[in-house]
Amino acid sequence: MGTSFTELVGCSVPIQQAPMGTVSSPDLVVAVADAGGVGTVSALGLPLDLLLRRLDGMRRRTSGVLSANVVTPDVDEGLLADVAARVRLVDFFWFDPSPRLVELAHRSGALVNWQVGSVAEARAAVDAGCDVVTVQGLEAGGHVRGATPLLPLLREVLDAVGVPVLAAGGISDGRAFTEVMTAGAAGARIGTRFLATTESGAHPAYKQAVVDAAGDCTVVTDAFAVCPLCATSPRARVLIAAVQRLAELDDDVVGTVAMGGARVPVGRGSGLPPVVGAEGHPDAMAMYAGAGVGSVTDVRPAAEVVAALMAEVERRQPAGGR
Ligand SMILES: Cc1cc2nc3c(=O)[nH]c(=O)nc-3n(C[C@H](O)[C@H](O)[C@H](O)COP(=O)(O)O)c2cc1C
């Protein structure tokens, strides 16, 4: 299915796998890129040499479209240039659109996508020179930028900007995907559905908790606000079960995760999600999940997720997206 987004970035299906910190493992990113979507890695928290080696390694493994996510305005300009030279799309979130950072990414040959939570922010992103805007609705898993549900915000943003618009938040099945494409989105950015894949870096107990959760089992909370993003706005959508489990424990440290070759303690209320190898109480860590969690009923390979989403959107909306 061709859209203005697929034509611009050169992918074959209008799906971006959302950056999800350590959950968006290289295996997941490569699998989605191989399946024709955009595979996105998080640049957060990795030492520069490791990040660049990781990007080069992924590039060798796939000829698909790769993206790298940046969530801080204090990014080193040299690092941004090195990262942008290795991906088709640089993906920003959680701070005001910056013409300077957009220009730096462009100079290295990358396109720029900015995830926004309001119409005003979408306009600011386009004014800053962004090539793509992602509209994040209140339903989204992880840190939630705005306060408006996806479909009304998507319609408003589509009226306000002229660049390709992706929709994000609660899109975990073909029905929700078709809804946003029918509304005029050029594609979807999907996190939670890709969390429950064989390739994702989520801890097995986290994947299972997502599979077991019903649609009303998530909440926007500040319970896991010990994180750099929450320093400016402590709002993230997680599984309610994680908030409840944390409340049952008295511990100041709920476990450990492996990061950059070291074992890192996970303090009470830390924003670190439970990834493969997490020890202690992964069920009391930040189990981010979107409001579409109820339609995630199995853990399967990412390529199958992409194929199933595409089969359903093509069946329901054979004419394609905008
Ligand atoms: C586990 C998890 C971690 C996330 N981490 C990031 C991140 O590091 N950077 C970012 O821009 N967005 C992050 N997000 C939010 C996504 O960009 C996107 O808005 C969200 O996944 C869409 O909603 P969905 O999960 O219901 O599909 C994360 C989402 C999840 C579920």
For the chain, which domains are there?
Answer: 4-199+297-316 (3.20.20.70), 204-293 (no CATH)
Neighbours of 160 (CB within 10 A): 14
**pLDDT of 317:** 78
**pLDDT of 231:** 87
Closest CA to 169 of 60, 93, 255: 93
Q: Is the pLDDT of residue 151 over 70?
A: yes
**pLDDT of 322:** 64
Q: What is the Cα–Cα distance from 133 to 146, expressed in whole angstroms? A: 14
Closest CA to 87 of 58, 47, 130, 116: 58
The structure tokens listed for 36 are 């024709």
Ligand 1 atom nearest 237 alpha carbon: 31
Q: What is the Cα–Cα distance from 28 to 94, expressed in whole angstroms? A: 23
Mutation test residue for ligand 1: of 143, 175, 233, 275, the one with most atoms within 8 Å of CB: 143
Give the pocket of ligand 1 (CB within 6 Å).
18-21, 23, 42, 44, 69, 71, 93, 115, 136, 139-142, 168-171, 189-192, 195, 273, 288-290, 292
The pTM score is: 0.97
Q: What is the Cα–Cα distance from 58 to 60, expressed in whole angstroms? A: 5
Strand order through the sheet with 236-239:
142-143, 236-239, 218-221
Distance 179 CA to ligand 1 centre (A): 20
- Which helix (H) or strand (E) is 246 found in, with range? helix 240-248
Residues 12-33 have a mean pLDDT of: 97
**pLDDT of 128:** 98
Distance 195 CA to ligand 1 centre (A): 10
Residues 6+ apart with CB under 8 A from 257: 22, 263, 264, 266, 272, 274, 275, 277, 278, 279, 285
* pLDDT (tens digit per residue) in 118-141: 999 999 999 999 999 999 999 999
Q: Is the pLDDT of residue 63 over 80?
A: yes
The structure tokens listed for 221 are 């909370």
Ligand 1 atom nearest 202 alpha carbon: 1
Report which protein residue has its CA nearest ligand 1's atom 10.
19
